[in-house]
Structure 1
Amino acid sequence: MNLSERKWCGWGLKQSPDLLKDKRNSFWNWLRELSGFTELPHTLPVDINSISLNEPTLPSTLISELETKISQGKITSEPIERIIHARGKSYLDTLALRSGNLPDVPDIVIYPQTKEEVIEVIRWALFNNVAIIPFGGGTSVVGGVNPIKGQNHIGIATLDLREMNRLINIDTKSRIACAESGIEGPHLEELLQKEGFTLGHYPQSFEFSTLGGWVSARGAGHQSIRYGKAEDWFVGAEIISPPGPWKTEAFPASAAGPQIKDLIPGSEGTLGIMTDIEFRIHPLPQEKYYNAYIFPSFEAGIEASRQLMQTDIPLAMIRLSDAQETFFYTAMQMGGGDPSSLPKFCLMLIGLEGDSPCITAGRQIIESIFANHQAISLGEGIADQWFQQRFLLPYLRDEMLDYGLGVDTLETATRWNQLLDLHEAIHKAIQETIENDPDQKPQFPIVMAHISHAYLDGASLYFTFVFPRSLKDPSQQWHRIKNSASHVIRYHKATISHHHGIGTDHKQWLTGEKSALAYELLRQIKYQIDPKNILNPGKLF
């Protein structure tokens, strides 16, 4: 972990990859025309050294007291540390950082190195009424790491767990590994693969996110069909909460009442700080096969996906782009295109991982099902290209923000029989809201989606939308778009989030999804564990 190499107000590394190459000028001119700008504005972020922060509210005597308990870790109140821990990577987070408008920042940032130091931090925070914000890779896109304190909290401390990054052990017979929660994706996979295993969890944030963050948000990787979402591969954890340290169950199976471990994935640090996490691992696949296909329509691709999911082949990934996304990524490669004559065909990327005989049998089933839906194979080259660039697309958002554009994503999930209607309704809601924006009207709004994760009974939908950013009130502009899409999601009884989590952005929608009774049950559990609400306040509850 070298924070000096990473952007303080954007995605990833300072040395950003060049995704556009020789199409750069034509691509930006094309986006300018679609956005309705005569000329793309230059809206660069402020200089980090120009940002004025409020002074820490925590008394120096309390900080000194904590320093006596943290002998191996580090405590800092350096302005740059407070700034980079002030927000995650959501659209609103990025706007706040780029503008330098940061009224709420942590007073201190703590880097513990041991479980015992985490215990001391929580004891100190509980006694002194200090809000604790758990921080892994800081890649939350829903406001999950924003520093919020309740009315009784005297200050905010962000707990950055990335120094706790050891792989503790691997049980090869049970295929279960244990690692500290702050270990980042590349380091974890490197250590596992040296022993012939993989977790197989590759979210788009893989390069910078952590094991603890994946569990906290119920995250999903690109190959979740094969390896599962976080709640599927999560076995158990050691947790530090205000009453003290505790462990979840970790049985292969149990009928001893409801399993408390099921509360941890998706709890977003509100119930405790995970220190050690056990998770299921898999032997490295003997073979991988990825291919690209074109379908005559999104509906045909959905039906083929459903049929594939209800067979017994070693599927790792189905990624079906709608016509708009297929067009956009083609235009990105070509430097532009005419959206008024949008073709209906849709791109699917499909992947198999496993033993060679299973891969061979799986390919035959794929060809049989796809032939019935008039799909055409494009070969493995396009799939290989996507595989090489799968972690890089978020870099393009920062460039768009530099040129007066807004871009964000949202995701949901529903059953197969509702998927097409939900897709059309969300697409319409987002497009109409962008078109009717009171501040900035585009020539042609870009709204696109893909199926990113699939199951026996349904799939997720992942939307991306690009729009000319309001320079008057970009936050309210985003809220109008987000609310219109979220109302549609709730009307269709889909989930408000498939894998991004709740954070601050989705909190208002959680009660409606859970029901008032279920939400109150969760809130009472929170109160029993954390009566002073020091753990990540303002999220979930």
Structure 2
Amino acid sequence: MTNAILRPAARRKFWGWGLEGDGLTRSELEELGATFARRLGIEGVRMQDPPRAEELDLRAPRLSPPASLGPIFSADPYDRAAHTYGRSFRDLVRAFRRDYAHAPDLVAFPRDERDVTSVLEWCSGAGAAAVPFGGGSSVTGGVEPDVGEGYRGAVSVDLRHLDGVLEVDGVSLAARIAGGTLGPAVEAQLKPHGLTLRHFPQSFEWSTLGGWIATRSGGHYATLHTHIDEFVEALRVVTPRGVLETRRLPASGAGPSPEGLFCGSEGTLGVITEAWMRVQPRPGFRAGASVYFADFAAAVNATRALAQSGLNPSNCRLLDHDEALLSGSGDGSRSILVLGFESSDHELGPWLARALEIATGHGGELPDDERDDAAAIWRASFLRGPHIRDGVAQLGLIHETFETAVTWDRFDALHDGVRAAVGRALDETCGGGAMSCRFAYVYPDGPAPYYSVYAPGRPGQELEQWDAIKAAASEAIVALGGTITHHHAVGRDHRPLYLREVPELFTAALQATKAELDPSGIMNPGVLLPPGAAGPTANRRTS
């Protein structure tokens, strides 16, 4: 086994977003703290020092790989710490507490698909859990090796070396891309061909193609092609039972889609090593505008009309009054509808003109100043979001998000119910706080509302405070007809409510599928299904 795994010159933070040295400066942190203190009505904030790898008390690895695989494994404390958590608020709080109880025993860095196969074979024989790891940006516990007691240890399988755009079919507009390819590399390698995948989740910089597919990631488009599923043409997956590869087809009605089995499987059935993805010419035409609404209900009606108009804007994101204020896009007196269209083929003036006609017909107002740039301000805040979340956690405050989707006829009741439930939880656990809402995606039959929560934290109680707020929000969402997640995935955090959302017969079918593809139950135990749910041979111990 070696600890000399090749890494970029600047390492990623093992506890937070981005590279070491990135993020908010000390002065920016102080300014952020002062801003939130004023907004939340508290006297001040406290500054915490980020953890250092050398101060972590990691338990000794319980596993040793065979000599034949030694060169691709690491037990280095930094590698183990960097593969313990995703990037949620819960993960940040535990990192600041120096709580790395669920660190993987080993981290595998397979060099190719053969190595992936060998790692899964060894894990199956050794009774070790295997947790696929792409960019590590999960916000639902999807990469945390909290696998229960039925395993001799846990291995995080880092796919960074399975990367690159491997083949481009310019005739059919498709590209074969390795599963471990980070978002910026996907776009950079498609650009010389004049093509783009155009899938830009907030985690774009530090998330991978395989991770997007495995979690059914939501991306750039606010309407129409909202999820990564829309772009998947074919998949290649390594399962503990062998390699599975689907056919390239533009469409098929031949039974249930085999690609659909792995879209959203979250590493529980195998490792996505390659995918043929539908790509498109890079857009050269763009048009956009912002529309202001004094009344949020009127803005909701305008957004619904746009979603049902067939115009299919690429951007159709509605910010409520508080979201506009907290993002710096507005002064809090109005909601803002951010609209955008793009095309590689034609001018977009008529599309934008009709969209504005619909919006103003519902009471929307165009800005007086043609230089108004609310959309650009919000986008900058959106991209800066992960660094701000890290900073808020470092200041001992609570800042996290949750999202859902619901049909239009149920939105008002859901929105009111969620606001009431979260408001009570904020008062009871934090003494108050703030919550904002935006529509991240919209469909003809319903929106995907996305909520952000801000609250003062009590020293040593921030995790428990957030858990109470999240539980209140989740119960309200499920009771009022929403889904527990629209695009943040299930992971370990959402599993109990996910199992309430899907039919029992479906859960049984998923268990049977897992038992067939993963008979020893090693693949990401505890995600989607409880550990040990793969079948009678799952979670067996070996001595």
TM-score, scaled relative to structure 1: 0.91
What is the CA–CA distance in structure 1 between the aligned matches of 2:127 and 2:507, rounded to whole Å?
A: 25
Shift of 1:495: 0.6
Shift of 1:256: 2.1
8 A contact 1:201–1:227 mirrored in 2: no
What is the CA–CA distance in structure 1 between the aligned matches of 2:266 and 2:461, rounded to whole Å?
A: 29
Aligned with residue 364 of structure 2, among 366, 375, 392: 375
Asked if 1:28 corresponds to 2:24, the answer is: no
8 A contact 2:311–2:355 mirrored in 1: no
Corresponding residue number in structure 2 for 1:471: 459
8 A contact 1:180–1:275 mirrored in 2: yes
Aligned residue type for 2:364: A
Asked if 1:64 corresponds to 2:67, the answer is: yes
TM-score, scaled relative to structure 2: 0.91
Q: How does 1:98-117 map to 2 (within 5 A)?
A: 98-117=96-115
Corresponding residue number in structure 1 for 2:158: 160
8 A contact 1:136–1:160 mirrored in 2: yes
Corresponding residue number in structure 1 for 2:445: 457
What is the CA–CA distance in structure 1 between the aligned matches of 2:25 and 2:437, rounded to whole Å?
A: 20
Q: C-alpha deviations, 1:482-514, integer Å up to 9, x for none?
A: 111111111112110000000111001012110
Q: What secondary structure is seen at the aligned counterpart in 1 of 2:366?
A: strand
Q: C-alpha deviations, 1:213-247, integer Å up to 9, x for none?
A: 11111001132425431111112211111111111
Corresponding residue number in structure 2 for 1:502: 490
Shift of 1:357: 4.1
| Compared CA separation, residues 180 and 297, structure 1 to 2 (3 A) | same
Aligned residue type for 2:51: V
Corresponding residue number in structure 2 for 1:309: 307
Aligned residue type for 1:432: R
Q: C-alpha deviations, 1:78-110, integer Å up to 9, x for none?
A: 001000101111111111112111111111111
Corresponding residue number in structure 2 for 1:209: 207
Corresponding residue number in structure 1 for 2:431: 441
Moved more, 455-464 or 474-483: 474-483
| Compared CA separation, residues 139 and 196, structure 1 to 2 (3 A) | same
Q: What secondary structure is seen at the aligned counterpart in 2 of 1:353?
A: strand
What is the CA–CA distance in structure 1 between the aligned matches of 2:274 and 2:30, rounded to whole Å?
A: 48
8 A contact 2:231–2:277 mirrored in 1: yes
Q: What secondary structure is seen at the aligned counterpart in 2 of 1:100?
A: coil
Corresponding residue number in structure 2 for 1:393: 385
Shift of 1:65: 4.1
Asked if 1:80 corresponds to 2:86, the answer is: no
Q: C-alpha deviations, 1:43-89, integer Å up to 9, x for none?
A: 3333332111000000x3x342422xx6xxx3211001000101111
8 A contact 1:45–1:99 mirrored in 2: no
8 A contact 2:282–2:344 mirrored in 1: no
Structure 2: gaps of 5 or more residues:
1-6, 530-543
What is the CA–CA distance in structure 1 between the aligned matches of 2:98 and 2:418, rounded to whole Å?
A: 32
Q: C-alpha deviations, 1:131-162, integer Å up to 9, x for none?
A: 11100000000000001334442111111001
What is the CA–CA distance in structure 1 between the aligned matches of 2:381 and 2:44, rounded to whole Å?
A: 29
Corresponding residue number in structure 1 for 2:533: none
Corresponding residue number in structure 2 for 1:126: 124
8 A contact 2:414–2:481 mirrored in 1: no
Asked if 1:7 corresponds to 2:13, the answer is: yes
Q: What secondary structure is seen at the aligned counterpart in 1 of 2:14?
A: coil
Shift of 1:28: 3.0
What is the CA–CA distance in structure 2 between the aligned matches of 1:225 and 1:427, rounded to whole Å?
A: 25
What is the CA–CA distance in structure 2 between the aligned matches of 1:474 and 1:3, rounded to whole Å?
A: 34
Shift of 1:166: 1.6
| Compared CA separation, residues 499 and 202, structure 1 to 2 (3 A) | same
What is the CA–CA distance in structure 2 between the aligned matches of 1:390 and 1:483, rounded to whole Å?
A: 25
Corresponding residue number in structure 2 for 1:384: 376
Corresponding residue number in structure 1 for 2:143: 145
What is the CA–CA distance in structure 2 between the aligned matches of 1:464 and 1:77, rounded to whole Å?
A: 37
Aligned with residue 508 of structure 2, among 507, 520, 524: 520
Corresponding residue number in structure 1 for 2:235: 237
Aligned residue type for 1:536: N
Q: What secondary structure is seen at the aligned counterpart in 1 of 2:268?
A: coil
Percent of aligned pairs sharing the same letter: 29
Moved more, 403-412 or 383-392: 383-392
Structure 1: gaps of 5 or more residues:
none
Aligned residue type for 2:366: S
| Compared CA separation, residues 386 and 321, structure 1 to 2 (3 A) | closer
Asked if 1:349 corresponds to 2:334, the answer is: no
Corresponding residue number in structure 2 for 1:53: 58
Corresponding residue number in structure 2 for 1:432: 424
8 A contact 1:179–1:276 mirrored in 2: yes
8 A contact 2:53–2:77 mirrored in 1: no
| Compared CA separation, residues 359 and 396, structure 1 to 2 (3 A) | same
Corresponding residue number in structure 2 for 1:43: 48
Corresponding residue number in structure 1 for 2:3: none
Q: C-alpha deviations, 1:161-210, integer Å up to 9, x for none?
A: 01111211111121111100000001100111211111110010011110
Q: What secondary structure is seen at the aligned counterpart in 1 of 2:114?
A: helix
Moved more, 255-264 or 47-56: 255-264
| Compared CA separation, residues 21 and 473, structure 1 to 2 (3 A) | closer
Q: How does 1:182-193 map to 2 (within 5 A)?
A: 182-193=180-191
Q: C-alpha deviations, 1:393-425, integer Å up to 9, x for none?
A: 221112212222011110000112222321221
What is the CA–CA distance in structure 2 between the aligned matches of 1:174 and 1:92, rounded to whole Å?
A: 43
Q: What secondary structure is seen at the aligned counterpart in 2 of 1:102?
A: coil
Shift of 1:257: 1.7
What is the CA–CA distance in structure 2 between the aligned matches of 1:122 and 1:472, rounded to whole Å?
A: 39
Q: What secondary structure is seen at the aligned counterpart in 1 of 2:156?
A: strand
Moved more, 352-361 or 428-437: 352-361
Moved more, 511-520 or 263-272: 511-520
Q: What secondary structure is seen at the aligned counterpart in 2 of 1:182?
A: coil
Shift of 1:30: 3.9
8 A contact 1:48–1:100 mirrored in 2: no
8 A contact 1:249–1:261 mirrored in 2: no
Shift of 1:19: 9.6
